[in-house]
Chain A
Amino acid sequence: MFGISLPQSFLQMNTIFISILIEALPFVTLGVLISGIIQIFVTEEMIAKIMPKNRVLAVIFASFLGILFPSCECGIVPIVSRLVSKGVPISAGIAFMLTAPIINPVVLFATYIAFGSDWKMPLYRGVGAIIVAIVTGIFIAYRYKGNPFKENYHHHHHHHEKTTFWKKVWRTLEHAVEEFFSMGKYLVIGSLIAAAVQTYVKTSTLVSIGQGPASSSFVMMALSFILSLCSEADAFIASSFRTTFSTGSLLAFLVFGPMVDIKNLMMMLATFKKRLVLMIVVAVFVIVFGYSLLF
């Protein structure tokens, strides 16, 4: 092809890269469409009605909302940013963002299957996700002030004049296209990095570092970050590590990965202020780490 021969390892990286993209595209597309629907059909008043006024209650409420939401971490950032611009407190939005890819039925069921048809692992995983989300959300509610969005992040100001239903559908789709382009580039870059790491970095060296309780949790979190797996598939990977790693560190892998990985870190950085993203990452890291040591 093109008269040049590319090294086999590069082609393998490319194949892995395309496969991550193909796997993520359905969820990203769904994410941008939902984001469009929220933008056009959901009003500030509706959200104000549903969301509890109390900050802590709002965070707790948002943490459990993900149960109804079969989403993967690749599609969640545009949805959250739209909800926040519609008046959901940023702390509650973040709590939702952290739990939604984990506590939905699809992911929990996959975890159940992966760990030999046992409900304990999905239970610990779900509980861990909710704890992390609530604590991180409350932390952000009290420690983060000001505009959560990056300066150049576009705000859509909408005016609720009467329009026909079909015009609204049209605008939803227009919005989805915009969102696709603003998120898509980070998805591509994130997938490319993850594919490169999978092809060129030896996992075994990383795995051989961590055998103590603390270091193994640390290693598994790092692994989940760089592998950037879909939260519906990561349980199967985690289960293949169960001979070499403790339950605690497997949980660290299963809880940390869907919350923070290369793909969605890129998307978060594109949307939110650096300081906020840093707070999220540090809080999630510390809490997941602590939680993993309990097992």
Chain B
Amino acid sequence: MIRSLILIGFTYLIFHLHITGDINKYINMKYSYLSAAAGYALLVLTIVQILMLNKEPSKDAGCDHDHCGHNHSKEDKWYKKLYIYPIFAFPIISGLFFPIATLDSNIVKAKGFHFPIYDEGQGDSFMQQQFLRPDTSVYYGKDDYDTLMKKEKKKYVNQSTIILNDKNYLKGMETIYNFPGDFLGKEIEFKGFVFNDKETIDKNQLFVFRFGVIHCIADSGVFGMLVDMPEGTKLKNDEWVTVKGKISTIYYQPFKTNIPYLKVEEWSKTAAPKEQYVFRGY
């Protein structure tokens, strides 16, 4: 009986998320067909469980040999059920009734952030990096990757102002980090939330980030850029801003390397976008 309810709960949770559209607050919609399929499979299991429930009395009485050994729920001790079923019930209740939280600077603090810095156009810091990982330059198979990234680069380099939106945010950022040299002095505009760390807090600097999601938000990470704000601007974590300015590079002590950064010329506070995450398209 309780098992049927649990299966109904799981099935309902999945369909509920799909129908309300809240599923995109948990996973990359590119993989939504997987969870939809799981929803249907669970529906089948639910029906099976309910039918099993109806058949049970006769089974227990007769225990014809091919059914012995099934129905282990009957063998479970009552005190086991006392903690097993609440375990199953918890995600159903918390998934349906607790408000869905959005990842913010809190999670950035816990997870940290990394930039995909490659070995193009890097100065001395490049040598230091190589010292830490001696054989990587051979290993990243420059040929294939270069062709792919150069194609990406062409798309952006010739534009006078590069505007990163929900769709091209991740690709665009990756391209800039790959070829910081080619983007020096380019004008770029993007939106994100503010993150201050102890390196930037005393300066006119802060990070503008967005969470990028691969599969589900458990594997998300932040992508964005260090920005240099006009004198005296202080913003709190998680405030959403649109920034526009020219790309430059700066030595960032914690990473011991040069990273691209944005010298902001124009900026404004904006409302958080409807979809706060950006999704990886491939």
Contacts and interface: CB of A to CB of B under 8 A. Distances in A.
B26 A15 contact: yes
Interface magnitude class on chain B: 35 or more
Contacts, number: 215
Contacts of B41: 26, 29-30, 33
B139 A11 contact: no
A117 to B, nearest CB: 5
Interface in A1-33: 1-2, 6, 8-9, 11-12, 14-23, 25-26, 29-30, 33
A180 interface: yes
Given A12-B107, A117-B144, A194 B218 contact: yes
A154 B257 CA distance: 56
Contacts of B69: 154-157
A184 B86 CA distance: 12
Contacts of A2: 97
B3 interface: yes
Interface centre among B95, B116, B219 (most CB of A within 10 A): B219
B225 to A, nearest CB: 15
Q: Is the interface of A mostly helix, strand, loop or mixed?
A: helix
Contacts of B109: 202
A239 B115 CA distance: 10
A219 to B, nearest CB: 13
B132 A18 contact: no
B280 A243 contact: no
A233 B30 CA distance: 13
B70 A14 contact: no
Interface stretch (A43-51, A135-143, A203-211, A283-291): A203-211
Contacts of A189: 87
A2 B132 CA distance: 52
A229 to B, nearest CB: 5
Interface of B: 3, 6-7, 10, 14, 17, 23, 25-27, 31, 34-35, 37-38, 41-42, 44-45, 48-49, 52, 65-66, 68-70, 72-73, 75, 84, 87-88, 90-91, 94-95, 97-104, 106-107, 109-112, 114-117, 129, 132-133, 135-136, 139-141, 144-145, 148-149, 214-219, 221, 255, 257, 280, 282
15 contacts: A1-B97, A1-B98, A16-B103, A17-B91, A23-B215, A120-B139, A120-B141, A178-B70, A181-B3, A202-B110, A227-B218, A229-B219, A230-B216, A236-B214, A237-B219
Given A18-B94, A203-B112, A243-B117, 8 more contacts: A20-B216, A22-B14, A117-B148, A180-B7, A200-B110, A233-B219, A243-B114, A247-B135
What 5 pairs across the A-B complex have the smallest Cβ distances? Answer: A118-B141, A204-B112, A11-B101, A26-B38, A116-B145
